[in-house]
Copies of this chain bind each other. A is one copy, B any other.
Amino acid sequence: MDDNNSNPDAGSTGKAVPFPATEFFDGLPEPDLLAFATAAEKKHYAKGDYIFAQENNATHFYIVISGWVRLYRTTPDGQEATAGVLTTGAVIGENAVFENAYQYSAQAIEAAEVSAIPVSLFRERMAQSPNLMLRVTQELARKLESAQLQIEHSTLKSALQRVGCLLLRLSANITGAGGAFNFPYDKKIAAQQLGMQRETFSRGLSGLRPVGVTVKGSEIGVDNFQRLTDYVCKGCSAYPDKCPGPRVDASGRKMPLYKKLYFFVGGVLCDTYGGLLQIF
């Protein structure tokens, strides 16, 4: 049993359903996709329910269909360290494919639907499609890049920029020049996610007013996303295809975050977005 919920309705299973579009399954051979879609169980969790707990026996991995899920670790003295806040399309518990126990607790912080896929099936298909392991590898690489970026931001960026970065990620699907959205989960968790106090987070939100951010309760307004991007993404080392929340234009294309700049690495002139220009 991998569900540990006090809510008796939590984790109730429905009939097999496909999972949402995710890079994890994108382009896999039909037979693999069909096998996963058939075995996948849709589960519903109420706000506060646990999908799995740290150190539980790892039997499934999960694709988030909707809602918000927090991954966190509990320290021996009972403190919680938030490792990620994830939504539609995110893969959680993927370490179950090669380890026996979950590394984190996964809690629905708003009502959530997830698709549960048995790791036993994944391992079985992997024997025939070795490149399935590549999916897990790429998923871990994505999460590593995201964690390293968080470390970079906590070292090099101001609290205001880190709050602004989260706002850009939460609004990445808005295609207009500006727009408004409801902050989708508890701001206390957002503060934990950014490794700051709740008060610092609130001050960060109001401090972004000069770059066009307004806050009315849970509604966040952004006058001009490009203006906020210019302020927030200045000096971030993420490329558009690695940024956890790049703006997307009306055609769904990921847009550059910030103007291209040039820098030296070991006598080599490089540009921001990857080109090696000249060796001196």
Give me the interface of A with B, judged by CB distance under 8 Å. Answer: 4-6, 50, 53-57, 73-79, 81, 83, 95, 98-99, 101, 103, 105, 107, 126, 130, 133-134, 136-138, 140-141, 143-145, 147-148, 150-152, 154-156, 192, 195, 234-237, 258, 260-261, 263, 265-268, 270, 272, 274-276, 279
Contacts and interface: CB of A to CB of B under 8 A. Distances in A.
B98 A134 contact: yes
Nearest to A52: B266
Nearest to A133: B133
B265 A50 contact: yes
A53 B266 contact: yes
Contact of A133 (B101, B130, B237, B276): B130
B147 A103 contact: no
Contacts of A75: 152, 156, 235-237
A56 B130 contact: no
Contacts of A150: 151
B195 A141 contact: no
Contacts of A130: 126, 130, 133
Contact of A53 (B5, B78, B270): B270
A126 B6 CA distance: 45
B155 A76 contact: no
Contacts of A152: 73, 75, 81, 83
B53 A268 contact: yes
Contacts of A77: 234-235, 261
Q: Which of A133, A141, A261, A263 lies at the interface centre, i.e. has the most chain B CB atoms within 10 A of its CB?
A: A141
Nearest to A106: B266
A81 B151 contact: yes
Q: Which of A50, A81, A136 lies at the interface centre, i.e. has the most chain B CB atoms within 10 A of its CB?
A: A81
B78 A263 contact: yes
